[in-house]
Amino acid sequence: MYTDQQKKIALFAKVFGHPARVAILQQLFEIDACYCGDLSEEIGLAQPTISQHLKELKSVGLIKGTVEGVKVCYCIDHENWTKMKDLMHQFLDKDIPKADCC
């Protein structure tokens, strides 16, 4: 029904389709690594809600989490982030600006 590329683009875009997940990623850009509890406080959503969003980000490979004692340290998976970025650029930068037809 759809190409693999279309499905992949949609999958990543869907993950970015909620402001909480955008906020989480931007926070991880800023401070490089972060604990779930800190994100919960920073963003203003309950801990289980943040945990759920982190799970989704992890499921598409954009972040990883490492257990550090009682906490879990989350950060961007740079390798996968780059791959995702290439894919999104392929899609976003495809169009050649022309006069609008209608």
- Contact residues toward DNA (CB under 7 A) are 14, 17-18, 20, 35-38, 40, 45-49, 51-56, 65, 67, 69-72
55 forms part of the interface with its own copies (CB under 8 A): no
78 forms part of the interface with its own copies (CB under 8 A): yes
Q: For the chain, how many helices (H) and strands (E)?
A: 5, 3
CA distance 14 to 8: 10
Binding mask 19-48 for its own copies (x = CB under 8 A): xxxxx-xx--x--xx----------x----
Burial zone of 63 (CB within 10 Å; 0-12 exposed, 13-18 middle, 19+ buried): buried
CB closer to its own copies, 18 vs 48: 18
